[in-house]
Structures are given as structure tokens and as C-alpha cells.
Amino acid sequence: MKNNILFISLIMLLLFVNLIACAQQEEKNTMTVTELKEKAKNNNLVILDVRTEEELTGPLGHIEGIVHIPLHELKNRINELDKFSDKEIAVVCRSGNRSNTATNILRMNGFDAKNVEGGMIEYRRLQK
């Protein structure tokens, strides 16, 4: 009985440590719109918009100077980003969901990518 309690306690401790490590790792994979704007000033940042073509001309518009690769095309077109391998890539979409997926794809392929929290909705909200 005592061994079972010790074993369960150890498993719970490992799960807790893993949860904290994952939370900290996820935090490193994101940036705020404010951070995006600051980093864009130094010209060492690439902004990748993963929305559809129609969304770029929609009410949220787009950020000037972006690289545009829709999420559904990213895996097939990822080599287009090789020339930016030495730069940080800020990934943006409408709300931050698709860009989170794109960020994970880029990071798995060795890019220094960060998801822009809140996406273009937040970007436009902060411009008002």
C-alpha cells in the first residue's frame, strides 16, 4: 500500500513538472501584437500571414510587407521561407488559431517562429 502511494505521488509529480515545462515552452512560441510592432521596427523580423487571399483584402486588411502563404499551402511551400532561416518569423492569422498551427509546423522545420496572440483582430483593435 505504501509503495502504491509513493508510486502515484511520483507519477503526479512528473505530470506536474511536465505540465509546467509545456506551459513555459508554449509561452516562448508566442508574441503579443505590441512585441510584433516593436520587433518589426528593427527589420530583422519576417511577418508571415497564413490567412486566405480573400482575407487579406477583407475588413481586417493586412500588414504591409508580409509574406503570404495560406496555412493549407504551408507544408508544400515551406521552402520559400528558407531565405529567412536567420530571422525570427512572426506568424499571424485572423485570431491566432491557424497561426498557432503554422508556428508549430515552422518550429518543427527548424524556424524561429512565434504565433502572434490575437492575430489581426488584436492588431486592428490596438490601432484604434
Does residue 98 have a pLDDT over 80? yes
- CATH level 3 topology of 32-127: Oxidized Rhodanese; domain 1 (3.40.250)
Higher pLDDT, 114 or 127: 114
- The structure's pTM equals 0.78
pLDDT in tens, 33-90: 999 999 998 878 999 999 999 999 999 999 999 999 999 999 999 999 999 999 999 9
Residue-level pLDDT at 24: 46
Is 65:77 a contact under the CB 8 Å cutoff?
A: no
pLDDT in tens, 1-19: 666 676 565 566 556 555 5
Which segments of the chain are extended strands (E)?
30-31, 45-49, 67-68, 88-92, 112-116
Integer Cα distance of 91 and 78 in angstroms: 13
Q: How confident is the model at residue 28 (pLDDT cuts 50, 70, 90)?
A: confident
Residue-level pLDDT at 127: 84
Residue-level pLDDT at 42: 82
Is 48:90 a contact under the CB 8 Å cutoff?
A: yes
The secondary structure of residue 12, as a DSSP letter, is H
> In 3D, which of 40, 112, 48 has the Cα closest to residue 80?
48
